[in-house]
Structure 1
Amino acid sequence: SDPELRRPVRFPIGGQRVPPPGGQVAGGALVLQVSSPNRVAVLGLDRPTAAERQGVAEKVTVSGQREIPVEEILRRLQAFEDAQNRKLEHYSAVNTTSLRFQASAGTQAIEATLQGPFFFDPKTGSDWAWETLYVNGVRWRGKTLPEIPLIQPEKAAALPLEIHFTKEYRYRLRGSDQIDGRDAWVVDFAPAGPGEKGKLYQGSVWIDKQLYSRLRTRAVQVGLEGEVLSNEETLLYTPVDANGQAAPWSAQSYILPLRLVGQQILSVVNNSTVVERETRLTDVRINAPGFAEARQKVNASDVTMVRDTAKGLRYLVKDEQGERVVKEGFKTSKLFGAGGVFYDDALDYPLPLAGINYFSFDYKGTGQQVNLFYGGVLLVGNIAQPRLFGSRFDAGAQVFAIGVPTTDTFYRNGKEIKDEAVKQLPATVSFKLGHPIGNFIKVDGEYEILYFHYGTADDTAKSFVVPTSNFTHSFSLSTSFARSGYQLQASGSYNLRSSWDFWGLPGNPDFDKTKKDFLRWDAAASKNWYLPRFQKVGLEFDYASGSDLDRFSKYQFGFFGGTRVHGYQSNSVRATEVWAGHASYGFEIGEAFRLDAVADTAIATDKQTGLDHELLAGVGIAGTFIGPWQTVVNLDVGTPVAGPDKGFVLYLVFLKLFK
């Protein structure tokens, strides 16, 4: 009954010759005439190729094997998926999705894991209930889960390899590969033309040579705009039976994407934030009785639910009648309360941290991002536009000020020189412009003006001349790369002080008028490995150096910065060249506590202070737990174990989400 069938062929059985069949299209169907039929007749029929349907423009064959056009491979793939879709009425599962947020450099990350029932049917699509939330492996104990901003790219208008070929994509047979022992064709796909911005994909699909089912699909969304700079997803397919148990690779099994691994790069207040995503479907039940009742039971509960719509994930909320409806948009602003304490030996007393943090992804509908923390003695503010004038450039500004001076301690030949201590009070304003290159690289340019106020400390010698308070103009260029959990970063800066007069004790050899301007450069590489039961292993390596550096521009090893060594105080030991390594291992205890054991080492060189490839090392513990009133408590404490510094550094903060 298919009028597209053509070219009938009859195959002989047992070696005897058989007359060819005849055929003609009549009444919207192909009518075959088989003369001298036996009890069994083996016939072959052709369909129009994808190229003839104007779907695929290019034919590629694999040399050394039976030639097979790429459109024939895709036709068989689509025939397999069509057959599977006809027998798959619906399925349910438990969806566990982990979102791992981290900056473009370093191994520190925040992991949010959402878990709950998942329901799919072709008519409604996918619904997912968030029953449980884990923050860094610690279970959220509140009755309701906080609403998480659903920051995501626009959903693709046309997915590659759908049942019907379309003109949006072109396909190319790249060759062969093996996936878990299965021979596969590797087919690359890409948009055939400009298409709709942000709504098409480019990538590869691995197709089983025996079944013509998918084994793996990897795709990058192209033409993105806004705060989502990059979006890459890899789907891994597994054969299961109707009860979700492992099944052989056969046409009778259900071949489903039970695991997704993805990465997004977001522009958040002018900084690249990498979001690694991993989704696993377990406890799968296909066409099981009671599907509708189980879905309705979850709908009637008070759990947070989302639906995968044509526009992406959307919250499912209850209307006045108690029915779940799709909610467009989400709360773009959040207000946090923060309280805690920070201490290292550079401070005369612990620095209290108590204040309010306001953050908005879309401030008053302008598309601008705003972040503001005010804590009495500390002010940090950011404003950014992730799509400057509708382009892929992002731009923004930041201000930082602290009301408590710190002590700049000086070490020479491993000993603290107290009579050369200096009090300093910094404040900065910076302006940044960035642009992505491809899907995994971002380049940023920044202008920063820093004000340093210098003064004497209690132990400063009377003959010691403190530096001239000044403005420092800094022009920097940086680039970052992130993919598959690996991150690379490099930056360089030119810095010019507004004034730089003699400082120090008489005859100070470190003072040089030419050091009024100086250069700094650094590079870093890092990788996190996420293991079962919320375990994490992190490694990071850094290199930093410069030119014309002095005491007040050299690299330090305090709490802030990439060259940090746990336990080392701010503004004490410093170096002109640093090779550093950082290792961490994190685990959860009874879903109630999260602990990370941290070890830092640095090989520091500074001829002025007697450091000649000196080993600096420190160890520490970082932790997370859920405190009273649904507060998230973060702890970080460290102590030196090698090098000239001593003492400890403590950071303790409580975060409370108000709305």
Structure 2
Amino acid sequence: MTIMLTEAYAYALRGRERVNGRDAYLVSFTPRASQQTSFDGRAWIDARSFVLLRTDATQTRLRGPIASSREIDEYRATVRAGVAMSFVQRAETFQAYVGPTASTPIHRIVTFDEYEVDAADYASRLDEAHRSDAVMLRDTLQGYRFLARQPDAASGEPRRLALSSRDHVATAVVGSLFDPNISVPLVFAGVSYVDFNLFRTGTQLNAFFGGTYGRLSWATRPFVRNRWRLAGDASGVAVFYNDRAFRTGVEHYDENIRQRPAQLSLAMVGTIAPAVRLRAAYELGYTRYARAETTAVDFLVPASTPVHGTRFALEAEHGPWNAIAWFSAARRKEWRLWGLAPSTTQLEARTFERYGATFARSIVWSPRAVAHVEMAWMTGRRLDRFSEFALGSFDNPLRGYPSVSIRYDTGAVVRSVATWTPTARVRLDGFGDLGVVRGPDDRRSRSYPGLGAAVEAPAPFGWLLAAEWGYGPRGVNADGTIGTHVVRIVGYKMF
């Protein structure tokens, strides 16, 4: 980011500190005009040469999907031709992207190993770069902007500053999922559309349609003193899939049924501190239940009924760490006895609560190697088979385990991924997960380790190919054997 320490800021001397072995003045700066996007932070200035040694600044009054942005820049002081100057050596950025359903932390580190000042061939090298196929950006007061290539580059200026940024993209998605909980490989194809400035209103829109599955989510730009935004999400599945019954790790085929879920939510997301947000939502769910081929004749299928709920979540970031604490309460419109051994105590589960917390940390080892570790804990009250947590679901994955194959009412999950980018076009991922859970019928907790790997690389005709494999050593296949494999292969093409 570009910080111009001009008269637009109010300054205060906060003392003196040592920075990289140099004596420095510590100066704080705050924007004089609070209605404009600006920066609030501190600067360390060399006490002898008065060049910058370090800045730590938080961007204020953000109006887009980035709700918080903090950057720490380290400078290298030097003397060139008798003139004291400093260059950015390392820039570390922590941001939070607020989406319609969740917030995504962004941790980025940029390092500069070498500078050349007043190079004799600067003009020719700059022209060569402008005429190349490389993607080029310019740092402006409005942020990074693309330097777009011109069609008449051979005879005129090769690049010009883009008048506006591209804020929407459509993507074709084709793939297949091999899941032991699905009797045949699930082939899917669809179109995804993302717009960060719908109708130039600042509204985000994410839409996906894949034949049997569709999802639509959106979020407005901040309003109400530039702090609160409205968000919504809806999804549905057009086909039934298995809901498998497990007790103490053993599948009971005569209690398996079929399900077809749909959900809708509406939320208010507010920034209550520079890196702290509150998300309050109303949720509506509906799942259609039906018998499967193996369902026992005397098994009572549960009621297919709307479920109304509220959810509150507190999100926060600090450096590479981020945390979420959440609570939800729900009530079924109606509920009746179900199962092979129905009991009136089942009716108490008409209302239920769930709550939990998540802690995550990003790790940057080098420009080509990064990692992410996440720890989640969750529990609830009055949970039954159809409201319990499930490992292997889309929002609670465990590598290598079939979808919705492990249910529990109390548990913890650790997920980790290490990413290596050996070339500019190939990315390799390694996964290591561990779930420790306990169901209502378990005397003690059960552990489920999972591991996996993935590769992402370009394919012909402008496609991007991603393949992911996971292995669950304690997963149960449909035929009762132990050890499950889940494979997903997806191709993407942007338009």
Q: Fold-level match, TM-score > 0.5?
A: yes
Q: Which residues of 2 match residues 268-283 of structure 1 at below 5 A?
A: 268-269=99-100, 271-283=102-114
Determine if the alignment matches structure 1 residue 639 to structure 2 residue 471.
yes
State the match for 1:529 in structure 2. Answer: 363
User: In structure 1, the residue corresponding to 2:116 is in which secondary structure?
Assistant: strand
State the match for 1:405 in structure 2. Answer: 240
| CA distance in 2 between partners of 1:348 and 1:594 (Å) | 31
Q: 2:348 aligns with which of 514, 523, 528?
A: 514
Q: Which residues of 2 match residues 336-485 of structure 1 at below 5 A?
A: 336-388=171-223, 391-485=226-320
State the match for 1:187 in structure 2. Answer: 27
State the match for 1:541 in structure 2. Answer: 375
State the match for 1:218 in structure 2. Answer: 56
Percent identity, aligned pairs only, is: 26
State the match for 1:60 in structure 2. Answer: none
| CA distance in 1 between partners of 2:121 and 2:423 (Å) | 34
Q: 2:9 aligns with which of 148, 169, 194?
A: 169
User: Residue type of the partner of 1:633?
Assistant: L
Deviates more, 1:649-658 or 1:256-265: 256-265
User: Residue type of the partner of 1:239?
Assistant: A
| CA distance in 2 between partners of 1:652 and 1:280 (Å) | 34
Deviates more, 1:623-632 or 1:517-526: 623-632
| CA distance in 1 between partners of 2:443 and 2:230 (Å) | 40
Contact residue 617 and residue 643 of structure 1 kept, 8 A: no
Please list every run of at least 4 consecutive aligned residues from structure 1 whose deviation after the TM superposition is greater than 6 angstroms: none
Determine if the alignment matches structure 1 residue 621 to structure 2 residue 461.
no
Determine if the alignment matches structure 1 residue 207 to structure 2 residue 45.
yes
After superposition, the Cα gap between the structure-2 partners of 1:343 and 1:432, relative to the gap in structure 1 and judged at 3 Å, is: farther
After superposition, the Cα gap between the structure-2 partners of 1:239 and 1:224, relative to the gap in structure 1 and judged at 3 Å, is: same
State the match for 1:237 in structure 2. Answer: 75
Structure 2 residues without counterparts, runs of 5 or longer: 477-481
Q: CA deviation at 1:302?
A: 4.6
Determine if the alignment matches structure 1 residue 576 to structure 2 residue 415.
no
Q: 1:604 aligns with which of 425, 433, 437?
A: 437
Deviates more, 1:632-641 or 1:302-311: 302-311
Determine if the alignment matches structure 1 residue 653 to structure 2 residue 484.
no
User: In structure 1, the residue corresponding to 2:112 is in which secondary structure?
Assistant: strand
| CA distance in 1 between partners of 2:433 and 2:194 (Å) | 32
State the match for 2:389 in structure 1. Answer: 555
Q: CA deviation at 1:492?
A: 0.7
Could you tell me the TM-score, scaled by structure 1's length?
A: 0.69
What is the CA deviation profile of residues 338-373 of structure 1, one whole-angstrom value per residue up to 9, with x for unaligned ones? 000123222222222201111111123233222211
State the match for 1:178 in structure 2. Answer: 18
Contact residue 211 and residue 251 of structure 1 kept, 8 A: no
Q: 1:197 aligns with which of 28, 31, 36?
A: 36
Q: 1:256 aligns with which of 87, 101, 112?
A: 87
Determine if the alignment matches structure 1 residue 288 to structure 2 residue 119.
yes
| CA distance in 1 between partners of 2:261 and 2:124 (Å) | 62
State the match for 1:39 in structure 2. Answer: none
Q: 1:595 aligns with which of 428, 436, 451?
A: 428
Q: CA deviation at 1:577?
A: 0.5
| CA distance in 2 between partners of 1:546 and 1:552 (Å) | 13
User: Residue type of the partner of 2:56?
Assistant: R
Which structure has the larger Rg?
A: 1
| CA distance in 1 between partners of 2:127 and 2:422 (Å) | 35
State the match for 2:479 in structure 1. Answer: none
Deviates more, 1:404-413 or 1:521-530: 404-413
| Bigger share in strand | 2
| CA distance in 1 between partners of 2:467 and 2:266 (Å) | 31
Greater RCO (CA < 8 Å, at least 6 residues apart): 1
Q: CA deviation at 1:226?
A: 3.2
State the match for 2:162 in structure 1. Answer: 327
After superposition, the Cα gap between the structure-2 partners of 1:573 and 1:316, relative to the gap in structure 1 and judged at 3 Å, is: closer
| CA distance in 1 between partners of 2:376 and 2:42 (Å) | 34
| CA distance in 2 between partners of 1:213 and 1:598 (Å) | 44
User: Residue type of the partner of 1:567?
Assistant: G
User: Residue type of the partner of 1:573?
Assistant: I
What is the CA deviation profile of residues 104-141 of structure 1, one whole-angstrom value per residue up to 9, with x for unaligned ones? xxxxxxxxxxxxxxxxxxxxxxxxxxxxxxxxxxxxxx
| CA distance in 1 between partners of 2:122 and 2:299 (Å) | 80
Could you tell me the TM-score, scaled by structure 2's length?
A: 0.91
Contact residue 419 and residue 459 of structure 1 kept, 8 A: yes
| CA distance in 1 between partners of 2:428 and 2:145 (Å) | 34
Q: 1:305 aligns with which of 121, 125, 136?
A: 136
Q: CA RMSD in A?
A: 2.4
Contact residue 231 and residue 269 of structure 2 kept, 8 A: no
Q: CA deviation at 1:268?
A: 3.2
User: In structure 1, the residue corresponding to 2:235 is in which secondary structure?
Assistant: strand
State the match for 1:15 in structure 2. Answer: none
State the match for 1:265 in structure 2. Answer: 96
After superposition, the Cα gap between the structure-2 partners of 1:302 and 1:592, relative to the gap in structure 1 and judged at 3 Å, is: closer
State the match for 1:33 in structure 2. Answer: none
After superposition, the Cα gap between the structure-2 partners of 1:345 and 1:493, relative to the gap in structure 1 and judged at 3 Å, is: same
User: Residue type of the partner of 2:36?
Assistant: K
| CA distance in 1 between partners of 2:427 and 2:137 (Å) | 28
What is the CA deviation profile of residues 24-81 of structure 1, one whole-angstrom value per residue up to 9, with x for unaligned ones? xxxxxxxxxxxxxxxxxxxxxxxxxxxxxxxxxxxxxxxxxxxxxxxxxxxxxxxxxx
User: Residue type of the partner of 1:484?
Assistant: G
Q: 1:492 aligns with which of 306, 327, 333?
A: 327
Contact residue 51 and residue 77 of structure 2 kept, 8 A: no
Structure 1 residues without counterparts, runs of 5 or longer: 1-151, 243-249
Q: Which residues of 2 match residues 117-128 of structure 1 at below 5 A?
A: none
User: In structure 1, the residue corresponding to 2:130 is in which secondary structure?
Assistant: helix
Q: CA deviation at 1:592?
A: 5.4
Number of residue pairs the alignment of both structures matches: 486
Q: CA deviation at 1:197?
A: 1.8
User: In structure 2, the residue corresponding to 1:255 is in which secondary structure?
Assistant: strand
Q: CA deviation at 1:297?
A: 2.8
| CA distance in 2 between partners of 1:299 and 1:571 (Å) | 52
Contact residue 475 and residue 484 of structure 2 kept, 8 A: no
After superposition, the Cα gap between the structure-2 partners of 1:571 and 1:267, relative to the gap in structure 1 and judged at 3 Å, is: closer
User: Residue type of the partner of 1:281?
Assistant: F
